[in-house]
Homo-oligomer: A and B are copies of this chain.
Amino acid sequence: MIVKEINHHMDGNDISLAVIKRLPRYYRYLEELLDNGVERISSGDLSVRMNVTASQIRQDLNNFGGFGQQGYGYNVAYLHDEIARILGIDHTHSIIIVGAGNLGKAIANYANFEKRGFVVRGMFDSNPSVVGSECRGSKVMPMEMMKDFIRDNGIEILALTIPKTNANEVARIAVEAGIRGIWNFAHMDLTVPDNVVVENVHLSESLMTLSYNISRQK
């Protein structure tokens, strides 16, 4: 996965990319604690659950200041909400999915995304035999409608679940229409302007990493 190096400024402080990359995992654990009705947790307990040292946790969370108190632990709901705010998931994001194949449908149907404020507003496909079919109660639209749809509905995120052919062309049109971020499952690196964020999920690279690590174990 390619990570863009961005300068992170947070309330005047710099937060390292390494910390930022760990935040979603903290969020996932805090969400689980909340779901289980846990109100407070010590860095020690969180450390056992997350398999990270307690001092790492204290260091990481100190970046955001004042969430924990000595001998008292962290207020789970407060920490959960603060991290949500930092991650920008304290408000909703509109998504469209381009590519209504199995992967596109898997994403459209994944309820957890919606729970975290990512709302799928439409799906598009270039295949005429797929256009018009239903997915989660709404009809798959033809590609020609994408540009206006992004503009008219203020869509922020494009989930790109098509093969590499046309991926850059679709990205180009979406950028023209004002898209802010692309969640890229296409097996290629996209070329976009600097103000558009790309998050790559290269599944075959992930599978190769797995294969490599298995080979090393032999």
Contact = CB atoms under 8 A, between A and B. Distances in A.
Interface of A: 1-2, 4, 6, 8-9, 20-21, 23-25, 27-28, 50-51, 86-89, 93, 101-103, 105-107, 109-110, 112-113, 116, 118, 156-157, 180-181, 183, 187-189, 195, 197, 199, 201-217
Given A6-B216, A106-B103, A112-B187, A211 B89 contact: yes
A136 to B, nearest CB: 11
16 contacts: A8-B216, A21-B209, A23-B208, A28-B188, A28-B204, A51-B189, A86-B212, A87-B215, A103-B106, A116-B207, A118-B211, A157-B214, A181-B210, A195-B217, A199-B210, A201-B203
A24 B206 CA distance: 8
- Name the residue in A113, A205, A207 with the highest tally of chain B Cβ atoms < 10 Å from its Cβ: A207
Given A102-B105, A207-B116, A197 B214 contact: yes
Contacts of A50: 189
A213 B200 CA distance: 13
Given A1-B1, A86-B212, A181-B213, A199 B207 contact: yes
A195 B165 CA distance: 39
Contacts of A204: 24, 28, 110, 112-113, 116
B118 A207 contact: yes
Nearest to A105: B102
A187 B116 CA distance: 14
Nearest to A164: B32
A203 B110 contact: yes
A103 B161 CA distance: 12
A31 to B, nearest CB: 10
B23 A212 contact: yes
A79 to B, nearest CB: 15
B211 A87 contact: yes
Nearest to A197: B213
Nearest to A208: B24
B156 A214 contact: yes
